[in-house]
Structure 1
Amino acid sequence: MARTFHPNLRDILTDGNIVAIVAKQRLRAADGPGTPIFPPTYLGSDDRPTYCISLLDDGGNVCVVDSVQSQANRIEAAFMDEPYRSLVRRVQVTAQLPNAETRTLDMLQLGHRLADAAVTFSTLAEQAKAAMHSFGDGPDEIARLSPMSLLFGMWESRGEKRQTRIPRALSSTITARNVRVLRRMATFAGSFWSKDLGLEGKRSSEGLDPVPTGEALGGIMAEGEILRSATLNLVALRQNCKITTAVPVSPAAWYMFALALVAITVPSESYLRQGCLLVGDGDIEIRVVARSGKDENLTLDHQNILGIARDAARDFGVSTLEPIEAVFQTDRLEPSPTDKGKQLPGGKDKTARGK
């Protein structure tokens, strides 16, 4: 068994021989072992829904229960509420909808983070572009607008030839080993049947007569372990935050490392989707992994890490940053052929270009 590792956290961040912090926890269905759970469905090669199950050479298989992207979204969502909300600047984009209503999304809710179209076509566009183009000099400006872009990655894939790519430093997945796919069938039965009411013919479309739904995916049974695994790639984080042994760790870099430690230890979401409620089946095991492959146990108390993150956010000046309320500007979009002549929310023509 690996011995417990008790270094100074700054040493972990700056020691080039340490390449990762890995956290793992076994999970189980909330209603007990042997219970079917429902992983996400994807479009299969035959254009039918399927689960993402990979066959292994030993005859076993691995099923994706929650993908890297979904886990990132769930971790980011945790920062929408206290005690985590104050660790990240509030940056929001509001769009006017055709029905005169508005929709507001936080930067933590945007799938492509700082490079999301919601930002690109908003009043935040120029500030975001300047922050991305300053990435070569340091992480500070991106950390002030969208720190999760430095943790979960970002790609400025549209627009100018000059593009910013930030590699993912924190990844997490939930997988199940050696699963068997189940099937389900169902029939809808109305409260009253047409024949009972003296009506002619079937009235299924009106909710009166039985409607069989046919065969469908019915979840999986995991004969092996269900495992949540999170990896903080310290090599990528050091690159993203411009951390080198020759230069002291900047407030921005320390802030990002503290956020990463919060993210890797934050209690995981249990309710993944309908039919998939997972709970812990053991303690979270955290290890530091060296370049040589040697790993050692690491004790990280979430509340202690949260305190470190609060101090790091304060030192970086997060509390002094004004919230940003950006506005999505539809007239920044190039008109498509089907849009010509249509009216934008507020009465603007889509063929007109605003400032």
Structure 2
Amino acid sequence: MTTLNADAITPTHDLLDGWADDVLRGPVALHLKQRMLPVEGEGAVIFPPTYADEKHPYCIDTLSDGTKVAQIDSVGSQANRMEPLFKRAPAGRPENPFASLVPQVEIAIGNERTVSILDAGHRLGDAIVRSSDLAEEAQKAFRIYLDDGDAGPIATLAPTSLVFGAWDSRDTQAKLPRVVQSVIRAWDVDVLTRSAQYSPPVDYAKLDVFSEDIKEKAANNAKSPLAQRGFVPVPSTGAPGGIVARGGVFRDLTVNLVALRQLGGENGAALRRYALGLALVAATADQDGFLRQGCLLTPDPDAPANWTLVQRNGRRTRVALTGEAALDYAQFAARRFGIGPDRRAVFAKERAKADLKAKA
């Protein structure tokens, strides 16, 4: 939800074109700060992502004043959640208006499975692309961008790589900065733990699956094979139990207009406006707040989100940006630039092996 007020400027097509084109005087960024709430309400327990570190399973930083800040969703994770907004809806589902803004590029894996490039974590620089018959075209597009600064071929093949960033780190080293960057953090958090006890539904020792002696040795030992397979009682204590955010949960989203204006090419103005349209659609679209088990968030209706335009001198102006206005501009910009054709590439095991061999 976006607050519309009399003091906010309305982003017309001409104004948005200026944001994309005015290198000398254009604003530097568009920023959204959005307060989020757990569906259980203010102060409810939520679960951050966990990492393979027994001592520090959550990503929590302690500031100099002792305040603890937890990462709820990283920049990369947020990008991977926003990019599939542009996928074509499956058969039998309502049509997705965002899907018509970008080419639908899929890579067939055998006869039964396809992977959309919009689901590939590294986008045009992903291994799945290098392992398909799109490899040479993708490499050529990256090289043109690297050598000439022309992002047009990338926009024709995989335009969301311009919006969410891509790094062809395994090949040409071409690097596209993120135009849209989003992260969710919880502030002033307390960390909780949880414990549980598993009890099998039957006594397997009495069923002669193993002896009572073996049962006694294995019971309550989480490392024992019988416990790991669920045949004996085993406790789980001190496991990560989520956090409580006393200072609130906030999503910070930035549309980097400086990075956008660095995109060039023979049709640079139309390209930048196309990329801006996609960026605004991604930034204003309603997100699915189910981040993981135990973490379902929605925007706080009592603290509506506000868009702020940041000028070069630091001056900040409210912007009355809506999802409808973003989609209207994106559709107009896409028609001006020309959307690339839908593609269906084929994964080849031999290409994947060759890629591994070349790296080695």
Deviation at 1:139, TM superposition (A): 2.0
- The whole-number CA distance in structure 2 between the counterparts of 1:248 and 1:89 is 18
- The whole-number CA distance in structure 2 between the counterparts of 1:278 and 1:6 is 29
Q: Give the residue type in structure 2 aligned to 1:269.
A: D
Deviation at 1:249, TM superposition (A): 6.0
| Structure 2 residue aligned with 1:268 | 287
Contact 2:30 2:257 in 1 (8 A): yes
Deviation at 1:179, TM superposition (A): 0.6
SS in 1 for 2:45: coil
Q: 1:79 aligns with which of 75, 78, 86?
A: 86
| Structure 2 residue aligned with 1:183 | 193
Deviation at 1:197, TM superposition (A): 6.6
- The whole-number CA distance in structure 1 between the counterparts of 2:177 and 2:150 is 14
Q: Cα–Cα, structure 1 residues 275 and 62, in superposed 2: closer, same or farther, change >3 Å? A: same
Asked whether 1:231 is paired with 2:279, we answer no
Q: Give the residue type in structure 2 aligned to 1:139.
A: A
Asked whether 1:4 is paired with 2:8, we answer yes
| Structure 2 residue aligned with 1:117 | 127
| Structure 2 residue aligned with 1:301 | 322
Deviation at 1:251, TM superposition (A): 2.1
| Structure 1 residue aligned with 2:92 | none
Q: Cα–Cα, structure 1 residues 77 and 285, in superposed 2: closer, same or farther, change >3 Å? A: same
How does the TM-score come out when normalised to structure 2?
0.83
- The whole-number CA distance in structure 2 between the counterparts of 1:138 and 1:168 is 16
Task: Spell out the pairing of 1:32-71 with structure 2 (5 A cutoff).
Answer: 32-44=41-53, 48=55, 50-71=57-78
Asked whether 1:218 is paired with 2:248, we answer no
Q: Return the structure number with greater helix share.
A: 2
Q: Cα–Cα, structure 1 residues 11 and 41, in superposed 2: closer, same or farther, change >3 Å? A: same
Aligned length: 324
Q: Which runs of 5+ in 1 are unaligned?
A: 340-355
Deviation at 1:196, TM superposition (A): 7.6
| Structure 2 residue aligned with 1:107 | 117
Deviation at 1:305, TM superposition (A): 1.5
Q: 1:91 aligns with which of 99, 105, 119?
A: 105
Q: 1:133 aligns with which of 116, 135, 143?
A: 143
Deviation at 1:2, TM superposition (A): 11
Deviation at 1:184, TM superposition (A): 0.6
- The whole-number CA distance in structure 2 between the counterparts of 1:208 and 1:122 is 45
| Structure 2 residue aligned with 1:353 | none
Deviation at 1:87, TM superposition (A): 0.9
Deviation at 1:6, TM superposition (A): 3.3
Deviation digits for residues 223-258 of structure 1 (CA, Å, limit 9, x no counterpart): 10100111011001111246xxxx996222211111
Deviation at 1:311, TM superposition (A): 2.0
| Structure 2 residue aligned with 1:29 | 38
Contact 2:21 2:272 in 1 (8 A): no
RMSD: 2.6
Deviation at 1:334, TM superposition (A): 4.4
How does the TM-score come out when normalised to structure 1?
0.84
Deviation digits for residues 35-76 of structure 1 (CA, Å, limit 9, x no counterpart): 1100001233xx555111111112212110000000000000
